[in-house]
Structure 1
Amino acid sequence: MLFRHSTPRIKLSFLNKCRTNSQRFLSATQPIASKIGRKIIRYPPEVLIKHDQTPITQPRVKADLNSTTLTISGPLGTHSMPLKPYIRLKFYESKVPYVKPEDRKPITNQDDFIDESDFDKKLSISVQHPENKEQKTMWGTTRALIANYIRGVSEGYKVSLKFVGVGYRASLESDGKLYLEVGYVNPVVMEIPPDIKCIVPAPTKIILSGTDKQLVYRFAAQIREHRKPEPYNQKVTVLTVLVAGLRITVQDSIDLTFNPEFQLSNLQNEEKRLIQTSSSTAEWMTEEQVLGLIRNKIKFMDITDYRSLGTKYKTFKKHEFPVSPAFQDEVMPLINNLTTKYMRKNLEKFTSFRNRYYKSKYGAESSQWLYDQVVSIVKNANYSDAILSVKQFPHRWEQKSIIARFAGSDEDKSNEVVIVGAHQDSVNMWMPSFGRSPGADDDGSGTVTILEAFRVLAAGQFRPKRSVEFHWYSAEEGGLLGSQAIASYYENLEVDVIAMLQNDMTGYVGKKYPEAFGIVVDFVDPDLTEFIRKLIKSYAQLPARNTKCGYACSDHASWRKAGYPSAFAIEGAFEDSNPYIHTSNDILDHLSFEHMLEFSKLSVSFAVELSHV
C-alpha cells in the first residue's frame, strides 16, 4: 500500500516540474490587434469621408486637445466626429471610377461587366501603439462609430414601436409634438429631437428614423420607458429595429406563467412571418430563415397578411376556353409591330438601379420609373381615361404594384377581366436591401415583355369586349406578397377573372435542351394551359415544352389559390433556366431579346383572343 501511494506522488512531482519548465521556456504571445478595429470598412461611392488633420486647439466635449476631425457625408446627411491623435486612417479608392447609373454606357460585352461592389471604397483603421491598452480599446470603438455614421448617412436607421393595450394610441399633433396615451390620466407629451424624423402611420404605431444610430435608439427607449410591460394584461410596447434589411424585435422578458400558450403565440407573431412551402403546411419564420429559403432555391408564399385568400372561393361559373384561336386577323398585325428595340432600351434602364428589392429605396425608385413608362404609353395612345387607364396599387412597403387597364366595351361583361402579369422586383440573396441585383432575367425580362405587348396594343387602338389588365407586381421575391394583395382585393370585390397569364423569366436560352417555351403544368389551370399551347402553335416561332416549377413559384399561384384560372409560361424547362438569378450577375449579356419577343407575341394573342370570346 505504501508503494502504491508513493507512485502517484512521484508522478505529480514530475508533472509539476514539467509545467514549470513549460511556463518558463515555452510562451505564446497573443497578437496585439483589435478584432473589430482591424476589419476593413467598405462604403458606397456616394459617401464622402474627409479627414481634417488640423489639431483641435479648443477643448470640446469628448475631444482631447490635439484631436483631429473626421467628416462623413452622404445622401442623407453629414456627421463629424473627433479622432484621437493616435488614430491612423488609410483610404483605398474603388476599383473603377464611379459613374451614376443613368450615365453608364450599355454593356455589350461580358468582359465590360462591372459589379456594383467594384465602385465601393474601403477604409482601414489602426493606432500608433496597439500594445497600449487605451489605444487598443479606442481602436475598435472608433471603427464601430465610423461604420455607424457611414450607414447612417447612406441608408439611415429606422425604429418601429407598436403599442399593445386597450386604448393605447399615439398621435403627432400640429405643434410638432408626440402625444402618447398609454393608460395615464393625461397624455404624455414628448418633444421630438430635431435630427429625428417621426411619423405615426397608425394610432398604435410609431416609426422613427434618422442618421444617428445613438439618437434614434435613445429616443425610442425614452418613448418605451413611459409604459413598461404589464405581463398579466398584455399591455406592452414592442420595439422593432430595422437595420440593413434585418428585423430584430426587442421585448422585455415576461413571466409566462399566466396563460403561456397565448402569450408565446403573440410574441411569435410579432417577430416572424407565416410561410408556406407547400399547400398543406405553414411555419412561422424569421426574416433570416426566409432568406435561407431563397438561397436554397425553395419557393414559398408569405401568407401572414392573406390567410383568408381563397376561402371564399370563386362563385362564378367556370368559363370554357376556345377550341382554337379565332382572331388571327386582329392579332397578326399587332405582333408584327413588336420590336426588341424598346425592350432592350427599357431593360437597360431597369437593370441600372442597384436593386429592385421591395423594401429598399431602389425598389421604390425603379417602380416609379416603370409607372412613368406605362403612363407615357397611355398618353401617347390618345385614349380617353374611361377606356385606358393606369394606377399604382399601394402596399404596406414602399414599392407599389402597377395596374394598366383596357376597359371592356360589352356591358354584359363589365365584371370580367383578363390579366397579363409579371413581377417588377428583384433580390440579391445575400444582401437584399443593399446588394447589387440587376434582375435582368428575374424578372426584368418578364416586365419588359409585357410592357412591349401593352405598348403595341395601346398603339393599335385595342378595344376589347371584356376588360384586359396588365399587372406589374411588387414583392414577388418576398413570398408573392404583391400579387396576393391584389388577388385578395379582387376576390373580396367578386371580380370575375377569366384568365391570368404570368411572365416570369422570359429571356434566357438554356444549354440542356433546344430553344422552346417552358409551359408549367403544376399548380395551374389545365384547360387554360392547353389553350396557351394552341396560342403558341398559332402565333409563335418556338415549340412548347412541358415543365414543373413547384409550389408558389411565381405570381400565378396567388390567383390559382384564389380560385381563378391561371397559367405560367417560362423561358424553358425549369431545370434548364437561368443559373444567375438572385445574384449580381443576372445581367443583359445572358439574355436573348429575340427569345423574349416570342413571349410578347403570346401575351398579345392571350389578351386579344380571351377578351373577345
Structure 2
Amino acid sequence: MKRLIPFALFLMSPTAAFAGADDRELWISLGSDALAPVAEAFAREGWAMPAASLAKDDVTVIPVRESQLESIAHVMHEKFNRCAGFVTYESLDEAEKSLVPAPEPRVETLGPALYTLTNPTAANCMVGAVTEPNVRSTITSMAAYTTRYYTSTSGVNAANWLRSHWATLASGRTDMAATLFTHAAWAQPSVVLTVTGSTFPNEVVVVGGHLDSTSSGSTAPGADDNASGIASFTEVIRAMVACDYRPQRTIKFIGYAAEEVGLRGSKEIATYHRNNGINVVGVLQLDMTNYKGSTADVGIVTDYTNATQNTFIRNLITTYVPGVTYTNTTCGYACSDHASWTNAGFAASIPHEAVVSQGNPYIHTVNDTLARSNPPNMATHALKFSKIAGAYVAEMGK
C-alpha cells in the first residue's frame, strides 16, 4: 500500500436487489486476487457480484450487504487461508480513504531504545508463571459458547464472561480495570483490560486478539480461532498479578469483536486511538496459537506488520523462551486485527501458531475444538505464546 498510482474508477453496482431492506450496505476492501473466488461464491448463492467502486495497486473496494460478510469470510479461509482477509467499512468514503498509505509508525521515532531487553526479572517471572492448565481452562470456557458470532446473543454473553473473568484476575489491583468497548453497529462489545502505567501512562502497549467466531447459523466453538489467542494472553494478565509486575507504560489487553467479518472491532478501536492522539508504541496480535502445524513453533508474519518490532519479537523468543523455534511467513491481505493497527499508523506484529499455510485446517467449522488442537486436548502450544506475550509485556512496559 505504499506505491502511489492513480485510482482506477468503476461504476458501483447496486446491491439492494439481493438483500433485505434491513440488510445494511457496507463496503469492503480485499486483495484483487480474491475477486474471482468471491464472485463464484456469490453465484452459488444466486447473488449478483457488485462491480468494483475503486481499485488501487492490488486492493479493490466493493459494496456488499452485511448478510454477505460471512460468505466472504468463508471464501477467504477456504481459498487463501486468510482470517478474515478483508476489511469492512461503514461508508464508501471511509473505504476509499483506506487506500491512502498510512503514515509510518510513530514508534520508529523512538529509535532502538524502545526495543531493548533490559527487564529480565519481570520477563523471567512471567514466563515462568504461566501454566498450561490455566490456558486450557480459558479455551474450554470460550469454546463452550455455541457460537461467538458478533450478532448473536451467545457472542455477547461470551464477551461479558471475558470481561468478568479479567476483572476477577485483576481484583485487588487498583491499576487494573476491565471494561467493555461498545460498537454502535452491532451487538457484541470488545473487551479491554487496562493496566495504567506507573510512570508513562500516556504511552500505550496493546496485546490483543479477536473473541468472536465465524458462524451465525451453526455451532462455531472457535477453540483455536480464536479462543486460543485470547487464552494465551489472558494467562499473562494472571501472571502480571502473580509477579506483582506494575508496568511503567500503560498496557491494554483487548479482545476484539467482529474480526471474522472484516476486522470491524479492531478497526474501530485502532481508529479511536489514532483520532484521539493516543500514543500506542507497540501492538502484539495473537490469533490462533494452539495448533502446531509446522516444524517451526512460531510463524512471524512479515506482511502488514512492522519489521523492526518483528526483529524484537525474534529476540524475545531467543532470550526468554529458548527452545521455541520460529520462521518467517506471510498472511495475505489484512488477515487479522494487526492490520487494523498497521493501517492506522501503529507498529504491529503477529506471531502465528505455524507457517500460515500450515495452520489449523479445522477453523471456521464445527470441528474447531480443543480435541482437534495439536497436540489434542492440550494447550501446550498456546502456552508458548503466553510466554512470548509475557516477555513482550515485560520489556515493552518498562
Contact residue 232 and residue 386 of structure 2 kept, 8 A? yes
Q: Deviations over 1:127-165 (max 9, x none)?
A: xxxxxxxxxxxxxxxxxxxxxxxxxxxxxxxxxxxxxxx
Listed as ranges, the matches of 1:201-216 within 5 Å are: none
Q: Specify which of 418, 421, 425 is matched with residue 212 of structure 2.
A: 425
Partner of 1:404: 193
Q: Specify which of 154, 157, 173 is matched with residue 383 of structure 1.
A: 173
Partner of 2:369: 587
Q: 1:534 to 1:312 in 2, by over 3 A?
A: closer
Partner of 1:455: 238
Larger RCO: 1 or 2 (CA < 8 Å, sep 6+):
2
Aligned partners of 1:271, 1:472: CA distance in 2, in Å? 25
SS at match of 1:248: coil
Shift in Å, 1:329: 2.0
Shift in Å, 1:314: 7.1
Shift in Å, 1:545: 1.0
Identity across aligned pairs (percent)?
A: 31
Q: 1:247 to 1:346 in 2, by over 3 A?
A: farther
Is 1:336 matched up with 2:128?
yes
Aligned partners of 2:142, 2:24: CA distance in 1, in Å? 33
Partner of 1:291: 70
Structure 1 letter corresponding to 2:218? G
SS at match of 2:314: helix
Aligned partners of 1:446, 1:280: CA distance in 2, in Å? 28
- Give the unaligned 5+ runs of structure 2: 1-15, 32-57
Q: 1:364 to 1:247 in 2, by over 3 A?
A: farther
Q: Specify which of 216, 227, 231 is matched with residue 444 of structure 1.
A: 227
Partner of 1:275: 28
SS at match of 2:238: helix
Aligned partners of 2:222, 2:112: CA distance in 1, in Å? 34
Q: 1:321 to 1:455 in 2, by over 3 A?
A: farther
TM-score by length of 2: 0.80
Aligned partners of 2:325, 2:395: CA distance in 1, in Å? 20
Q: Specify which of 488, 494, 498 is matched with residue 271 of structure 2.
A: 488
Aligned partners of 1:291, 1:358: CA distance in 2, in Å? 11
Aligned partners of 1:300, 1:275: CA distance in 2, in Å? 6
SS at match of 1:359: coil
Listed as ranges, the matches of 1:223-372 within 5 Å are: 248-249=20-21, 271-278=24-31, 280-287=59-66, 289-296=68-75, 297=77, 299-304=85-90, 307=95, 313=103, 316=106, 318-322=109-113, 324-372=116-164
Contact residue 73 and residue 261 of structure 2 kept, 8 A? no
- Give the unaligned 5+ runs of structure 1: 1-239, 241-245, 251-269
Shift in Å, 1:303: 1.9
> Aligned pairs, how many?
337
Aligned partners of 1:448, 1:368: CA distance in 2, in Å? 15
Structure 2 letter corresponding to 1:609? E
Segments of 4+ moved more than 3 angstroms: 305-317, 321-324
SS at match of 1:398: coil
Aligned partners of 2:283, 2:264: CA distance in 1, in Å? 17
Partner of 2:48: none
Aligned partners of 1:466, 1:345: CA distance in 2, in Å? 29
Contact residue 129 and residue 242 of structure 2 kept, 8 A? no
Contact residue 311 and residue 562 of structure 1 kept, 8 A? no
Shift in Å, 1:315: 8.8
Structure 2 letter corresponding to 1:335? V
Structure 2 letter corresponding to 1:584? V
Q: Deviations over 1:356-386 (max 9, x none)?
A: 000011100111111110011111xx222xx
Shift in Å, 1:318: 2.6
The worse-fitting range, judged by mean Cα deviation, of 341-350 and 417-426 is 341-350
Aligned partners of 1:377, 1:358: CA distance in 2, in Å? 25
SS at match of 1:285: strand
Q: 1:552 to 1:312 in 2, by over 3 A?
A: closer
